[in-house]
Amino acid sequence: MSVIPLSLYIHMPWCVQKCPYCDFNSHNIKQTPPYEAYIEHLLADLRHDLPLSLGRAIHSIFIGGGTPSLFSSELIAHLLTTIRSYIDFEDNAEITLEANPNSADASYFVGYLDAGINRISIGVQSFQADKLVQLGRVHNPNDAIKAAQLAQSLPLRSFNLDLMHGLPTQSLADALSDLSQAVALSPPHLSWYQLTIEPNTLFGSKPPKLPDEDALWDIYQQGHQLLTTNGYEQYETSAYAKAGFQCQHNLNYWRFGDYLGIGCGAHGKLTQPDGRIMRTIKTRHPKGYMTGRYLEKSYIVPQDELPFEFFMNQFRLFEAAPKARFEQRTQLPIQTVERPIEQAIQKGYITEDNHYWYLTPHGKLFLNSLLELFL
């Protein structure tokens, strides 16, 4: 068990305003949320899950939302200090907090740094005022620039900028302008992902007109070229990083590592001593969660679903996939996937040697078709 890293995801459920594209578990603030009480519930939730850690130290923490930067640095410090008293952290544990640009006050960011945060992820989405209005964001382009400059000035391990493309009325020039402005701010990590219309969102009920497939392909191709030219490597479907600055928390997800999930609607994945894999889902709404009924559902992943789950995660990454990792993380023999692997090789989706599988450029383009072979 000690060779499977253990991460911790912490969900903060409140936002000043729900974005029309967002299908995450976030709730508009109607009155001042019970921040202090929620922190205590998070800690109680973690205490309940601690036996599932099986004595492992925490490899990484990601505090997401919602808008975690609505919580004061004092509360974040109390949360992290108490968690440290419950469970060991690895020496170089990455600890990320998501922040909105309009909360980028110097005292806040310095406070988070002092609290133990060593990586900040800033939700920029666009540097163009009209696009931010369309996306329902509550910050402006100057807020985004100020937040990135502030993060750059602090002794953080890293920081990330979140950017979206394929926005309503977005031209190729608009998309490349956003990327150029992001690159000029020199973040070690960039998440650059396409806007998708999700059900149960405002955009889902009133879809805006988005760029067509040809325009999206031009944006991706030229944006990818701009990023690689400026020293960013695409290591995951929608993530680019300078050398050595990949997000360790997300890498653990995609490598089929384990993670505890605490907070409203948080998900966990925990390998059991007998090798079975348990998934946990926490109560989604703050009102229900804060009655102390934290766990909504847990279940063991059926063995015949494990190959698909493993490769769905592993092939998000553009690194070589160790064959030994499949056996270690699923507890299944490699022979289990011989037939779909042969089909994937025949179709040109992957190649292999004695120790690794390699995703081909063709496999990157037809990832869904590749994954269907493992269903």
Among residues 230, 252, 274, the one where a domain terminates is 252
- Using pLDDT thresholds of 50, 70 and 90, give the confidence band for residue 1: low
Tell me: do 231 and 357 sit in the same domain. Answer: no
Which of 187, 219, 252 finishes a domain?
252
Domain range for residue 367?
Answer: 304-375
Inter-residue contact 298 to 317 (CB < 8 Å): no
pLDDT digits (tens, 9 = 90+) for 135-157: 999 999 999 999 999 999 999 99
**Tokens in use for 19?**
């974005």
Residue 246 belongs to some domain of the structure: yes
Is residue 293 situated within a structural domain?
A: no
Does residue 209 fall inside a structural domain? yes
Tell me the percentage of the chain whose pLDDT exceeds 70: 99
* CATH number for the domain that contains residue 239: 3.20.20.70
Answer whether residue 265 is part of any domain. Answer: no
Question: Residues 83, 222: one domain?
Answer: yes
Q: What is the pLDDT of residues 321-373, one digit of tens each?
A: 999 999 999 999 999 999 999 999 999 999 999 999 999 999 999 999 999 99
Residues 18 and 92 in one domain: yes
Tokens of 60: 């990484």
For residue 279, being part of any structural domain is answered with: no
Task: With respect to residue 338, please indicate whether it lies within any of the assigned structural domains.
Answer: yes
Q: Which two tokens stand for residue 110?
A: 């310095």
Cβ neighbors of 303 (< 8 A, separation 6 or more) are 332
Within this chain, do residues 10 and 84 fall inside the same structural domain, yes or no?
Answer: yes
Q: Six-digit token pair at 263?
A: 């907070």
Q: What is the mean pLDDT of the chain?
A: 95
Q: What is the pLDDT of residues 105-134, one digit of tens each?
A: 678 889 999 999 999 999 999 999 999 999
Residue 289 lies in a domain: no
Task: Indicate the number of domains in the chain.
Answer: 2
Q: Tell whether 122 is covered by a domain.
A: yes
Check whether residue 313 and residue 221 sit in a common domain: no
The reply to whether 246 and 319 lie within a common domain is: no
Q: Any residues with CB less than 8 A from the CB of 37 and at least 6 apart, and which?
A: 290
> Do 221 and 323 have their domain in common?
no
Q: Note whether 247 and 308 are same-domain residues.
A: no
Residues 91 and 214 in one domain: yes
- Regarding whether 231 and 86 lie in a shared domain, the answer is yes
Q: Do 222 and 335 belong to one domain?
A: no
pTM over 0.85: yes
Residues 78 and 142 in one domain: yes
End residue of a domain, out of 211, 229, 252: 252
Q: What is the pLDDT of residue 328?
A: 95
| Domain CATH for 348 | 1.10.10
Burial of 217 (0-12, 13-18, 19+ CB in 10 A): exposed
What contacts 4, CB < 8 A, 6 or more positions away?
A: 56, 257, 258, 271, 328, 329
